[in-house]
Amino acid sequence: PNPANNTTKRITVGLGNTKADGSSSTPILSPDGRYVWFSSSASDLVAGDTNGQSDLFVHDRQTDVTSRLDITAATGLALDGGVFLGDVSPNRRWVTFSSNATTIVPGDTNGQYDAFRLDTQNSTVTRVSPSGPNQATAGSFARSVSDDGRFVFFESRSEERRVGKECRSRW
């Protein structure tokens, strides 16, 4: 809603100002109200979205422009699994998300949802749930990120939990 004129505006609009061809969820509004981050399975929010998976987007309410966040810069491969938004730091630099895609970071072979942190300044993604030879055996889901991006809190259903109960942090 816009308090100035009591109107509601849809931000998940397809190219050509048409109804988006997929659903959107998990919106997060920036503290100043300018930006909205969200997950969406729509393939027509931005040009060239051909991976057939849900992606992460940010909409600038001032310029009315929606952009897809690049979370596969490390591998250069299209997503082969879904992505769901976790949190965005107040300074907009750090974005956490969960995904079962194996094409985000090299060596992700557990076939489970993992928790990730995106640094939007340099487009680097780090898996924060267990990686390497001790990958999680069940899903891990990103929840919140500290203001400086140093701590990412996530829920893990894996039996390998060694810290905390349902939330862990890494960094």
Q: Among 4-18, 43-57, 127-141, 156-170, which is the least confidently predicted range?
A: 156-170
Quote the CA–CA distance of 79 and 52 in Å, as a whole number: 8
Quote the CA–CA distance of 140 and 125 in Å, as a whole number: 16
- 127-141 per-position pLDDT tens digit: 988 776 677 777 788
Six-digit token pair at 30?
A: 């920036």
Q: Is 76 helix (H, G, I), strand (E, B) or coil?
A: coil
% of the chain surpassing 70 pLDDT: 87
Evaluate the CA torsion angle 97, 102, 105, 110 in order and state its sign: positive
- 48-67 per-position pLDDT tens digit: 999 999 999 999 999 999 99
Give the residue among 69, 76, 65, 85 at the shortest CA–CA distance from 25: 85
